[in-house]
Structure 1
């Protein structure tokens, strides 16, 4: 289907909370991103988000030893067992309380979960256990006196160590052993953060929140554990002593039956006590170290927040609340390396299977980095916007995305890899608007600091800073199609400012609006410099400032204008207003074409603290961002809601609605308040909650503050769509939301969507036409069936000598689809030269027909594929070129060395021969 857009990737947010994981091969990092899970492939430099969404944020993860099963638990205690092969949720289980840690056993047969002061051990499904019920509980341990925080398995999966807030670590055995009971390891004065077994023994290291590390030595190896059902070992006695099996019957006959039983019992008890004494298990504390001493020199309040241990290399990594992390070698606790990455708390630390890479996550900044500690280099360093992402813009070829945030940073993202490759932080205040130039050479941003900045996308520098005669908070910005003029609208001064990019000078100040200028847009036509602007004064104004200066056409709106967008053919403009309507106007005649009533499509999204009903809430909703599709037939709209709507422009009807999130960790997701939160005293969310030390979880906000009171102890943001845009290729659209930057793309190949299908058009008839050398008919039938594999098979069966003849016989209606097909195959196939030949002949033979506006998305898709292939091959060619230059230079140097050595050897031979002659002559003289 044309609108079968599916969630594709999540950008802009790399880490929120919870623990980090490395994949079984050590090349990928698994990170919880809110209620989704993102996998960062460090080897191929690509990120992908699993198509799985939870109702709340994920807080605890663990991966099975074989790397196939992932267990993820959200903050409400709902556990998801996820298959990484099919990327689906296999099973769900409700713990009904927050889970602090989950851990698979090394043999993959069990996994343990910490909840409250309990530890639950489940059988892991699979062929190892023969159990296929996903959550089959096997053991429950209730030993802790406070909430459990961390756990670890011994190397043989027999013993489980569990740390707790009661400042102790308890050891439990999965099976029952005669010489093992529940052991408690103390010596700490704060909450246990981590407990780690050694590789081939039961020695253990425990770490607490105040930085204390205790090293414990076990008296018995794991092989010395005696199962409860094993018969006791016989005790070696002297020959004159009586054994249990060979009792002297002559003496026993004289005794009574009571004396016999008493004697045998005493012998048995004596044997058991002796054997238990030999294999008795106990722990001895070898040392106690204080890891936080170095950090507390600068900050007395620093605490240890995260720890990870690599058993093979005995490397311990600890992270602190100051943003510093330390690497120690156990059991001596020798400091190897230290690094400070930020001023925020380190929330999670993980090591890969070789111990070379350390993944560190900071929840406060949304930062995720992978550090190679031996070479002291970053493998990956990503950070999202520390505050809301307020605006976005696609580049003209759809390869890049620019985002601006309320933290004053402008970030550029690669859509294909999902990584941010450059961050600009020149703005001193929140960025309100961002847009790319038509030639993709620079990107422009407007900010509340009163400046418009232009950034070079090639050299990554701020080459223009445009200011106003007096300080103005700029709310919107636009660049014309030629890239020569920039327009920005004021928020507190109701004027539009026009600059020249080349000169860097202010050309014109367009006055006329009587309220804050909400949005401006240039005409996409190359021959026109028409500018449209909307304001809170309920007017739409059409300007032609380059030719006529401040002369303009004013159009009255039904309510305050919030956003304006031009149609790609520049003949029509759409305006979103505060009453939830989208009005369409003709630019030349200034007449209204149609109107779309979209308020009911937004959904109420009632907040927990709202005191009014859903109907009243709905009256305050409106679209704040609109965008035309690449072909101009549809309109994408989003705003103060979790819903994004696609409308048909001509009919004015809703085609499809997308729900961007189901995350109940955000506010205003549900349309109605849950009745469980309503009591006889009112809404529970209106009750101010406080934790220890008069802090924590104050849910109330300041009255009238929509973005949340930043001084509140807990901040629950509302779901919003701040900005959205269609990709110029028409294959995807992006939305900047509270959750991050969401990418939705067409699900190719999943849906059977034929085009002009007829009765005799079947895959068999296509293959028959191929065998009969009827390439034109075979290609047309394959395109009607619209199956990507069949189309690729048909195209690759055509000889390269017949490509030009085949394309020349195609009718005009197939051009647009064939361009898209060639662009997609260029992106994914290895037959580069063959498909380049198709693209060249297609554009050469049908060039005049392809120039129309409706073929623009296909042309942009082709340009995007060619640019991406060029970038990939240029890196490879440069690497090969420099490698060959190095090898040739190395060969030249080695050949020079060889010639020099030959010359020196020949000189030595000549000297030796000269000395021999002199010696001979001296002998003759003698």
Structure 2
């Protein structure tokens, strides 16, 4: 019995607040998703959420230049240092107050942290000290208001700070160590709070940007650590000066900027000298920062001088949203612009040269209310109080379709079990809608004679009948999926109908209600027989066992009751409130229950911060899977309205206040002895083959990655041990195995087919869950077809030769 489900991913939320940080190579992006941090792989289109969790929402993120360490801090100043390769929290640090800016030095040895207008320099774990903690080296003051931006010089000697007190300060850490009385250079020229300050052009310039759009460029001598002039050499205004210019821009259908527009976020790419500025109206612009060798443009510059592109003339301007952009980041190559919009929980990555989206994700604006797995376990559908229905890839964690036809809260969603190509949703707006997964459209809308509010939903196994229960009239409505016609209205409950479920054979419909009953209806019989199963408290969820012989219901009083369907008798009662009602908790209401695909386990969720797994036969609690960290003396009340087990039995998903939490069997942590092999040579591979260590020889050949050697090993492995060998291939080598099979010679058709059958028989579900094998599978299919055609031609030729030979012998 495998119960080692681990936290796998967090979906439903892509950005909440805080800054965005690119990886060193610029192909990945880190984003704060509530109390966690998610890494988006922009080349593979996947997302991975780190398993650590902070007490409140993450406010700032910093990544070391070597990509080994990540520091995340929440709104209260509680921070965690994470090893990125190992995905583990090394230690926690409490800054004791909100952090407004944070960044690593280019050499990775220091971490600058801004708190209450002060700068704190911490020595970081680096090199051999990877698992050491942060050590505070010094604290420096000077700013009267919060610091919003940090930037280091390329040699990690100078630190540039920008503050809302309208000043920027240039700190020389080396001189500060030698002379404690050293006074940092202060840049005072702006009349509005600063949004950012950056070193430019080999640290010989300092660029400062204020909220009103003023951009100043200062000359700096990095060798002597002095400013040539205490006033900026260049003064620019990134915003237009008058409403007349704004009206002209609007008339030409281009994004407009006016003096009423404010700068909300900035970022600078030092390699390409690109400054990205976002404005309060959703517009973002890209400017090229001129070097000191170029002709500087001052306030006395004439209009004729403005003909050439300068810092005031953006090379690119676009509006991707009408809302305020909270955070902006540009990657190392200067190609991709990442925008975070906290108001809508939206994350965009835009390639501005080709004008195309690299990533476009938006989470639910309000709390999610329901979820369901597709029959193959590859897709998760969620409904939310924002009226939207979203489809998520279970493997990548990304949303690929959104339906926004509902005008009120979505209360239930469900896949059609027959085809898996239809999703049905019920909402408080009085409609039930069906969506086509092939064309991604709402192809059917089910309505009622009088307006009602739907609360529950179920689809019969054949996919032909849709049932929905109401909140206000206490009725169950049945429609035909094919025609959309209302078939029947079933009445009998005296309270809202909280849940519906068809049995696997489609003979009965179970309805749970707040009137403390579960009713079993023979909806397809003329007499409409009904059995009432009474409970001691309001029933919140009901579902059939996969074989249809039993039905289970859970109540607000913390009871799980199983019933025999034929006899209508209680077969077992689980007092879940004794297992989940810890002392810090004041409620133990159960809100969702589901069976595992084999019917041996029950997953239960409710107002407690974990998922409970029960053994059905013995009625005992097997395990708790926490959704949030319980701290000593802390009272945690949560609303987990839905939990579902994947049809593959390899994962389950639950709705929590943080988002859609997915737990899966953790295959990545399985010990792989092949990783300990250092001497992988052709001679050692042949030695392993001769000694009968076929699996070892095969894995070593994959790691050596020489096609001739790999083919030799595949041919040398006896067919009678093939099934056992394939069963022992680790998950990380499945993609390499499929690729190696595509390189086999055309005349080895039988051997290829035997390998393909063995691999698919043992690892079909794993290959589906990987989500990266489509290309190699297509190549493999093409090779099998090509080999089949060659074999067919050879067979035809052989038949003709045999016929000629037989004719010659007869004659």
Please say if 1:59 is aligned against 2:59.
yes
SS class of match (2:578): helix
- Distance change in 2, residues 1:869/1:559 (3 Å): same
Q: Does 1:330 align with 2:265?
A: no
CA 1:561–1:770 in structure 2 vs 1: closer, same or farther (change >3 Å)? farther
Matched, 1:291 2:231: no
**8 A contact 2:30–2:38 mirrored in 1:** yes
Q: How far apart, in 2, do the equivalents of 1:774 and 1:196 lie?
A: 59
For the 8 Å contact 1:59–1:75, the answer to whether it is kept is: yes
Q: Match for 1:418 among 397, 400, 417? A: 397
Q: Is structure 2 residue 119 aligned with structure 1 residue 119?
A: yes
Structure 2: gaps spanning 5 or more residues: 247-255, 291-309, 673-686, 697-711, 743-750, 786-811
Q: Which residue matches 1:588?
A: 566
Structure 1 residue 480 corresponds to structure 2 residue 460: yes
Aligned to 1:148: 147
Contact 2:734–2:767, Cα closer than 8 Å, also in 1: no
Say how many residue pairs are matched: 710
Residues 822 and 730 (structure 1), Cα distance of their counterparts in 2 relative to 1, 3 Å cut: farther
Aligned mate of 2:483, from 503, 518, 521: 503
**TM-score between both structures, scaled by the size of structure 1:** 0.71
Change (3 A) 1:321 1:719: farther
From 485, 492, 496, the equivalent of 1:516 is 496
Instruction: Please name the residue that 2:645 is paired with.
Output: 726
The 3 A distance-change label for structure 1 pair 730 and 446 is: same
* Separation (CA, whole Å) in 2 of partners of 1:313 and 1:752: 44
Structure 1 residue ranges without an equivalent (≥5): 226-278, 607-613, 663-668, 675-716, 754-767, 780-795, 811-816, 845-857, 882-926
Cα deviation, residue 819, structure 1: 8.8
Partner of 1:213: 215
Distance 2:377 2:228 in 1: 65
Q: Distance in 1 between matches of 2:131 and 2:768?
A: 46
* Displacement of 1:374: 1.3
Q: How much has 1:337 moved relative to structure 2?
A: 2.1
**8 A Cα contact 2:726 2:758, kept in partner:** no
1:160 aligned partner: 159
Quote the residue 2:44 is aligned against. 44
Alignment-derived partner of residue 661 in structure 2: 742
- Return the alpha-carbon distance in structure 1 between the equivalents of residues 223 and 433 of structure 2: 68
Which structure: larger Rg? Answer: 1
Structure 2 counterpart of 1:548: 526
Alpha carbons 2:722, 2:758 under 8 Å: kept: no
Q: Encode CA deviations 1:702-737: one digit per residue, 9 max, x unaligned.
A: xxxxxxxxxxxxxxx963212110000001100111
Structure 1 position 867, deviation (Å): 8.9
Structure 1 residue 826, shift from structure 2 partner: 5.7
Structure 2: how far apart are the matches of 1:88 and 1:542?
49
Query: Conserved in 1, the CA contact under 8 Å of 2:741 and 2:780?
Result: no
More helix by share: 1
Deviation at 1:648, TM superposition (A): 0.8
Counterpart for residue 920 of structure 1: none
8 Å CA contact 1:822, 1:838 repeated in 2: no
Contact 2:38 2:47 in 1 (8 A): yes
2:611 to 614, 633, 644: 644
Alignment of 1:58-457 (within 5 A): 58-127=58-127, 133-176=132-175, 181-218=183-220, 221-225=221-225, 281-293=228-240, 302-331=261-290, 332-333=310-311, 334-438=313-417, 439-457=419-437
Q: Report the alpha carbon displacement of residue 135 of structure 1 after superposing the two structures with TM.
A: 2.3
User: 1:831-870 maps to which residues of 2 (within 5 A)?
Assistant: 837=754, 840=757, 861=765, 864=768, 869-870=773-774
Report the Cα distance in structure 1 between the residues aligned to 2:497 and 2:727, rounded to whole angstroms: 40
Between 1:394-403 and 1:164-173, the stretch displaced more is 164-173
* Aligned residue number for residue 622 of structure 1: 589
Q: In the alignment, is residue 491 of structure 1 matched against residue 471 of structure 2?
A: yes
Question: C-alpha separation between the residues in 2 aligned to 1:454 and 1:486?
Answer: 10
Shift of 1:841: 7.1
What's the CA shift for 1:171? 1.3
Q: Tell me the TM-score normalised to structure 2 length.
A: 0.80
How far, CA to CA, are the matches of 2:357 and 2:52 in structure 1? 29
Give the secondary structure class of the aligned counterpart of 2:642. Answer: strand
Deviations 1:597-628, CA, capped at 9 Å, x for gaps? 1123334696xxxxxxx5xx23xx31111110
Which whole-Å CA distance do the structure 1 matches of 2:423 and 2:475 have between them?
A: 22
Maintained 8 Å contact 1:729/1:860: no
Matched with 1:610 is none
Report if the CA contact (8 A) 1:347-1:361 is conserved. Answer: yes
Aligned mates of 2:759, 2:137 — CA distance in 1: 65
| 1:687-702 map, 5 Å | none
What RMSD in Å do the two structures reach over aligned CA positions?
Answer: 3.6
Using the alignment, how far apart are the partners of 2:596 and 2:28 within structure 1?
35
Q: Which residue of 1 aligns with 2:806?
A: none
